[in-house]
Amino acid sequence: MTHARDERAALCDLFDRLGPGAPTLCAGWDSYDLAAHLVLRERRLDALPGIAIRALSGRTASVQQSLKDRHPFPELVALVRRPGGVYGLAPFLDSAVNTLEYFVHHEDVRRAQPSWEPRELPADFDDHIWKRLSAMAKLMLRRAPVGVVLHRRGSGGARSVLLGGAGEGPKVEVTGDAGELLLFCFGRQAHARVDLTGDPGAVERLRSARLGV
């Protein structure tokens, strides 16, 4: 098993337990909507561009709704559970593309429920997340209104540092485990367990900024 497959399976198990209509951190989406989104991005490539291109988002929303209309929730979850499209044919692509996607969406469902707590991730998964975040940080923080310094908590108190956001002006330091930093940079600032230090005004601006890819 890969981390992508583990996160996929855990998310589907959570879908099965909660059922349709459960809240998520994805604005305007419940668990049914999120399951349809995940099926769409793997099995309806004709509607995929609208995820990133606003002008095409209407087509994507229509296809996502049609998936809900055609499939009861358990059927959609079953489709999510097994990689579809090119990811089903090339497992290495599933790992490369879907590890962070499924980690974030797994947490989108977990953290929308009451009494959630952060998971302790395996060390190799934590390292993998940090490696990928290192490559993506500038893209994810491109809309940050202030400079951002990310500190990863490590064993023995060791920390690594990334730079992103606005190049001039005040800097905000964000400290946390790799998974928490990823969620913060993915736009889940309110639900990421991180410590922020810096000018109070800059901190608040960063908390409410639109971050992510």
Q: Are residues 104 and 197 in the same domain?
A: no
Token code pair at residue 210: 């639109």
Query: 59 has which bridge partners?
Result: none
Q: Are strands 171-176 and 159-165 parallel, antiparallel or unpaired?
A: unpaired
- Co-location of 93 and 151 in the same domain: no
Same domain? 131 vs 50 = no
Q: Quote the domain boundaries for residue 44.
A: 3-110
Whether residues 11 and 101 fall in one domain: yes
The residue among 49, 79, 110 that closes a domain is 110
Task: Look at residue 116 and tell me if it is in a domain.
Answer: no
Whether residues 138 and 190 fall in one domain = yes
Same domain, 7 and 38: yes
pLDDT of residue 166 exceeding 70, the answer is no
Residues 133 and 82 in one domain: no
Residue 162 has pLDDT above 80, yes or no: no
- 8 and 56 share a domain? yes
Same structural domain, 127 and 84: no
Tell me which of 110, 133, 154 is where a domain ends. Answer: 110
Name the band, by pLDDT with cuts 50, 70 and 90, for residue 213.
confident
93 and 64 inside one domain? yes
Each residue's pLDDT tens digit, 48-104: 777 778 888 888 899 899 999 999 999 999 999 998 777 777 778 888 889 999 999
Is the distance from CB of 190 to CB of 206 less than 8 angstroms? no
The CA distances from residue 193 to 21, 137, 162, 184, 190, in Å, are: 26, 18, 18, 8, 8
Domain membership of residue 136 (yes or no) is yes
Please report the pLDDT score of residue 35 as a whole number.
97
**86, 110, 134 - which closes a domain:** 110
Task: Read off the CATH number of the domain in which 186 is found.
Answer: 3.30.1050
Q: Are residues 199 and 138 in the same domain?
A: yes
Q: Are strands 147-153 and 159-165 parallel, antiparallel or unpaired?
A: antiparallel
Task: Read off the pTM.
Answer: 0.91
At 12-51, the pLDDT tens digits run 999 999 999 999 999 999 999 999 999 999 988 887 777 7
**How many separate domains does the chain show?**
2
pLDDT in tens, 1-13: 799 999 999 999 9
Judge whether 75 lies within some domain. yes
In a domain, 118, yes or no: no
How far apart CA 106 and CA 118 sit, in angstroms, is 12
Distances (CA, A) of 152 to 61, 134, 178, 212: 36, 11, 6, 18
- In-domain check, residue 213: no
For the segment 111-149, what is each residue's pLDDT rounded down to a tens digit? 999 999 999 999 999 999 999 998 888 889 988 999 898
